[in-house]
Amino acid sequence: MDMHSSADFDQIISRRGSGSIKWDRFPKLDPYWVADMDFKSPPCVLEALKERIDHGIMGYAQAHTGLMDAIGQYMQNRHQIKVEETEIVHLGGLVPALSITARAFGSAGDSVMTCTPIYPPFLSIHQDAGMDLISVPHILDDGRWVFDWQAMEDAVTSSTKIFLLSNPQNPLGRVFSSEEIHKLADFCQRHDMILVSDEIHCDLILDEDKTPHMCAASLPDELQSRIITLLSPSKTYNIAGLGYAFAVIKDDSLRRKFCSARGHTLPEINCLAYYAAEAAYNDGASWRQDLLVYLRRNRDTLTSFIADHMPTLVTPDIEATYLAWIDCRSMDKENPAKFFEQKAALYLSDGSFFGKPGHVRFNFGCPHSRVIEGLEKMAKAID
């Protein structure tokens, strides 16, 4: 069943006072930071949650058959991969999975490699295992952010155990090509590294024909002994607060090592999260398509507004996500995010947390009128 979405993405829903990190942490500021959207979750998800709540018993939960079937269908239809139930590890979120990986495959003196700018937890999970961090900046090639293969070869060492990939890339909005992913897998194989591919935004690709997603779990079988693919419906269907994600780990020994490192540090996954995920994957397709149409419009508004009204700022082509990475170095402000906070009462993500000062990240996963409102405040502050 695919309940057609009747989503009104233009609707302004007040989130103040709802315990929202995005809206309530800095209540005097206008928030365009944390990566969750200001849209209601799809009707199919809300219906499934109501039905589960009406059952009335909120006991300890496990992944039920309906969810396993939904994930199997999703992997087959969306990524053309057959995944066995045994290859799936259920998680309460993707950041804990990054930490588990560090503890499972690294120890003091080893290192984790990633490329910047990158989602901030990528730059700190090495500490959970007493490891070191090697970060290599992405480089611009003809206006597109790409891997600096030579710099990666120069930086890698024999004690580099893990490569952390964000694909689609947060905050750059890049969808890495099949060729790039194959090359990265080859790089990891040559240097005996585990490739951890965080694909949490893979269902938010704004032009699938132009930039199709390459799932790491679909790489050749001989590479899967060193690949952990992380997926979740949380960003796409705006259910991040329910805390559900999963890892696809095809190799048995890799999966056993990963699972044994979990220890007792993770809470149980809550009983509602499983049902929300099942509904999203089974019945959320038309809602997702409507969302992508809306996000494309928001993206186009943002890129043209910046070009017309703040031409000294630079934003790359946003191929995926609802996050815009904006280069503000021309403003000559030590901390542009702080500047917009003080001059415009806007809260944007500060690029320095992503390993790239002088930039901000703007969340356009909100009603179109709010996108314009935020951009106008930025432009006025610059003027």
Q: What is the three-state SS of 183-203?
A: HHHHHHHHCCCEEEEECCCCC
Structural Rg of the chain based on CA atoms: 20
Confidence tier at 8 by pLDDT (50, 70, 90): very high
pLDDT mean over 39-64: 98
pTM above 0.85, yes or no: yes
CA 123 to chain centre: 15
Task: Give the DSSP letter of residue 205.
Answer: B
**240-251 pLDDT tens trace:** 999 999 999 999
Residues 179, 181, 185, 191: what is their CA dihedral angle, to the nearest 10 degrees? Answer: 90
Q: How confident is the model at residue 116 (pLDDT cuts 50, 70, 90)?
A: very high
* pLDDT band (50, 70, 90) for residue 266: confident
Q: What is the mean pLDDT of the chain?
A: 96
CATH 3.90.1150.10 fits 21-43+285-382, yes or no: yes
Distance CA 221, CA 240 (A): 31
- At 148, the pLDDT band (50, 70, 90 cuts) reads very high
Q: 21-43+285-382 and 59-282: same fold?
A: no
pLDDT in tens, 213-230: 999 999 999 999 999 999
pLDDT at 267: 87
Counting residues of the chain whose pLDDT is more than 90, the rounded percentage is 96
Residue 143 has which token pair?
């206006």
Beta bridge partner(s), residue 162: 112, 194
Considering the domain 59-282, what is its CATH architecture? 3-Layer(aba) Sandwich (3.40)
Mean pLDDT of 169-187: 98
> DSSP of 14-76, one letter per residue?
--TTTT-HHHHSSTTSEE--SS--SSPPPHHHHHHHHHHHHH---------HHHHHHHHHHHH
Q: Is a pLDDT exceeding 60 seen at residue 1?
A: no
Domain boundaries, the chain: 21-43+285-382, 59-282
Rounded distance, CA 357 to CA 350, Å?
Answer: 7
Fill in the amino acid letter for 328: C
